[in-house]
Structure 1
Amino acid sequence: MEYPLVSIVVITYNSLEFILDTLNSIKEQTYKNLELIITDDGSKDATVEYCRTWLDVNKEAFVSSKIITTDKNTGIPANCNRGVNAAGGEWIKIIAGDDLLTSDCVENFIRFIAANNSAQVIYSKALGFQGNIIDKNYIEHSFAGYNKFFSSDTSKQYKMLLRRNYGHGPTIFFKKSIWKAVGGFDEKFKFEDHPFALKVSKNKIRLYYTDVITVYYRENIASITRSDDKRIFSNFYCEIEKFNKAEVYPNCSLIIKILKKTEFYKLHYFDKWGLNRRTKINKLLFLATYYLNPLNLYNKYF
């Protein structure tokens, strides 16, 4: 088995509270041919200073290491692009500054590509958690349709990705040459995972999956996809609609466009009519519409 250089790219933004756990999970990798890239997106706390101190003590654990900084916050896709661009490894593993890698994360991916020579973009299982990393807090991340999606050819995968995302973004492992070939992560959007998967698939590159846990993913209430204490859902649905208008609607079927538009306007009018306020009645109404979502039903049966 070959042992290519793998670059682990840590994306940080005000990550001081959790970054030690992240960095230690990288140091503890059983696979040792590693480069560490930390790319910070204009943190206002002491994240960068802490990372520099940690690297001074632990840099011998890596083939090479570096920290990249910027004066202003530019968003997740741009931060990912800076890190991957600076990476010297053949393979890339991106991790957020509040998530953790399993100790055999990279080793599992390398074993998978050794057995699947054509694999260039691979996803895996993830375990979500809240608070401390203890078993009772784990939430397994798996999506309906995994087997159907990852066993399909590139044409079918692309059509399915026009409906919804399948791979869990924090687990992605990919060749740097693929990132370069498709033009990197799309900085027009505020999220990176679904746009990148769709772009890769559109370029007829198959997405693979290995059924092992490689990432512990922190369920963070401050995430751009999550609501706050006063609202049921955030305005992230507007970002999804922006992505849909640019990349999905021009290429999907009429029925998928109608179903996605229906979901967007449902959320839009929940907001407009004050139904997004976190009350018991509003939550019950929202849950009822969620489980009767026509798009979810269509994806389940077609």
Structure 2
Amino acid sequence: MSTDFRGLDPRGLPLVSIVATCYNQESFLKETLHSIKAQIYPNIQLIIMDDCSQDESVDKIKEWIDRNEVTCKFISHTENKGICKTLNEALEYCEGKYYQAIACDDILFPDKIELQVQEFEKSDEDVMVIFSSWELINEFGNTIPRRQLVKYRDYTDYSDFFGEEFFGIIVAGSVLIRKKVFELIGNYDEELIAEDTDLWLRILEKYKIKYYDMIAFKYRRLNTSLTKTATKTKWLYRSIFKFLGKHLDNEYLTNNQINAGFKRYIKGLYVINNRTNWFKLIIKNKFSFFTCFHFMMATLGFTYHQAVRITKFLGVFIPG
């Protein structure tokens, strides 16, 4: 991305690679890209990834690039690969010391990158992620009041983070990542749908995550989001169970944390949309009976390991 639009000298400043991911977001993508261009921080590399959008997103991205005379890397897929594969592909082109991913319906505040880079530069080398708070908006850009379930704070180890209601604490758009962490722990897990929570947990096995107190970006909630689309519910269920199988056997966790984590995530299936929609989805989903069964086992207090043995005996999908 052109780094002189603010009239600032980028020499000597760490490069930040921003990856903007797009899938059928023609109505919002220009707002996202403008928010990247409007960053006060001057040394930014922009990479735009379109994952085979079926709307006019690709044409609008090209139009935005030409009209704003922006230097960037634009990759347009001819088949849909999913968010994790798309981000892993983008990482191959990232040259920055720091890395930011943002969906093309969200909006960065102008000082987001600058303030988090400043915080990184005075932090210890074992801090690999800095995250901040965020503002929730709807499809029209109006603010949606939200209830903050936990107090934001620094996280220094795996079990510390896992012990909280961690799902959704750290929202990807609010984050700046030290890019070298991917060389140390590996890239996004392409078998999962929720790429970010898995990444935070893997990072915390060896490194630290730091909270910086600011409102970093606007996170747009749409009715077509993954957790509100019935046709993708089976995929979401599979991914969550894969996530459970991957993390709940971790050596850093106590039995109580394993059991609590299992209960929390199975109950999460219940509240993905809302209770009414969840029961409607049960009827349509081929794994519906066993989803109910898992929820019942968690509610009755079965441990994760007991649930695995029972479900394997019944032939239910639970990854090892």
Say whether the fold is shared (TM-score over 0.5).
Answer: yes
Aligned residues: 269
Which residue of the partner structure matches residue 132 of structure 1?
A: 140
Which residue of the partner structure matches residue 253 of structure 1?
A: 254
Q: Displacement, 1:141?
A: 7.0
Verify the 8 A CA contact 2:135 2:218 in the aligned structure 1: yes
- Structure 1's 144 and 268: CA in aligned 2 closer, same or farther, altered over 3 A? closer
Q: Displacement, 1:143?
A: 4.0
AA in 1 matched with 2:55: D
Q: Displacement, 1:146?
A: 2.4
Q: Displacement, 1:198?
A: 0.8
Which residue of the partner structure matches residue 17 of structure 2?
A: 7
Deviations 1:51-87 (A, max 9, x none): 1221122234xxx411012221111111111122211
CA RMSD, Structure 1 to Structure 2 (Å) = 3.3
Which residue of the partner structure matches residue 208 of structure 1?
A: 210
CA distance in 2, matches of 1:27, 1:194: 28
Q: Does 1:53 align with 2:59?
A: no
Verify the 8 A CA contact 2:156 2:207 in the aligned structure 1: no
Among candidates 161, 180, 183, match of residue 183 of structure 2: 180
CA distance in 2, matches of 1:23, 1:85: 21
Deviations 1:76-119 (A, max 9, x none): 11111112221111111110010010011111111212332433
Normalising by structure 2, report the TM-score: 0.73
Verify the 8 A CA contact 1:120 1:178 in the aligned structure 2: yes
Q: Does 1:97 align with 2:99?
A: no
Which residue of the partner structure matches residue 37 of structure 1?
A: 47
- Structure 1's 140 and 90: CA in aligned 2 closer, same or farther, altered over 3 A? farther
- Structure 1's 182 and 294: CA in aligned 2 closer, same or farther, altered over 3 A? farther
Unmatched segments (≥5 aa) in structure 1: 279-288, 296-302
Verify the 8 A CA contact 2:85 2:190 in the aligned structure 1: yes
Among candidates 196, 217, 220, match of residue 219 of structure 2: 217
- Find the residue that maps to 1:120 and give its secondary structure: strand
Q: Displacement, 1:267?
A: 7.0
Q: Residues 245-284 of structure 1 correspond to what in structure 2 (within 5 A)?
A: 245-251=245-251, 252-263=253-264, 276-277=279-280
Deviations 1:242-290 (A, max 9, x none): 211122234433233333444555577999x996139xxxxxxxxxx9x
Q: Displacement, 1:156?
A: 4.7
CA distance in 1, matches of 2:266, 2:128: 37
Q: Displacement, 1:179?
A: 1.9
Which residue of the partner structure matches residue 239 of structure 1?
A: 239
- Find the residue that maps to 2:280 and give its secondary structure: coil
Which residue of the partner structure matches residue 284 of structure 1?
A: none
Verify the 8 A CA contact 2:22 2:49 in the aligned structure 1: yes
More displaced stretch, 31-40 vs 1-10: 1-10
Which residue of the partner structure matches residue 285 of structure 1?
A: none
AA in 1 matched with 2:41: Y
Q: Does 1:197 align with 2:200?
A: yes
- Percentage of matched positions with identical amino acids: 25
